[in-house]
Amino acid sequence: GENVEQHPSTLSVQEGDSAVIKCTYSDSASNYFPWYKQELGKRPQLIIDIRSNVGEKKDQRIAVTLNKTAKHFSLHITETQPEDSAVYFCAASKPGGSYIPTFGRGTSLIVHP
């Protein structure tokens, strides 16, 4: 089955810096890669996603890149703010069915004011 590795497990940055979280996947058939943000004590929520037919997608301060050949994808957050502090999960899923995702272990991002 699919295996998703996520790094780093913790990331500490100063407000205004950029943050990058990286994930690799094992199944070349995976074609959908969502990212979830989980604030303390809350549910994971989708913040951005990318499909395998594009290499990059951007939404304001958040961007995701995908390298299908290397089977890795990354989340980039620019101009970080304290409210970006959360656990971020990457996931990968294959076509068909309901996009059942395999999640990474999560990255705890701490943005220091």
Partner 1 sequence: DAGVIQSPRHEVTEMGQEVTLRCKPISGHDYLFWYRQTMMRGLELLIYFNNNVPIDDSGMPEDRFSAKMPNASFSTLKIQPSEPRDSAVYFCASSLGQRYTFGSGTRLTVV
Rule CB under 8 A: which residues touch partner 1?
Answer: 32, 34, 42-46, 49, 89, 97-101, 103-106
User: Smallest Cα–Cα separation from 23: which of 13, 14, 36?
Assistant: 36
Residue 82 DSSP SS3: helix
Residue 106 DSSP SS3: coil
Q: First and final CA of the chain: distance in angstroms?
A: 41
When the beta carbons of 69 and 98 are compared against partner 1, the nearer one is 98
* Closest CB 85 distance from partner 1, rounded Å: 17
CB of 30 to partner 1, least distance (A): 14
CB of 41 to partner 1, least distance (A): 9
Cβ–Cβ under 8 Å, residues 26 and 39: no
Pick between residue 49 and residue 78 the one whose CB is nearest to partner 1: 49
Nearer to partner 1, 50 or 111 (CB): 50
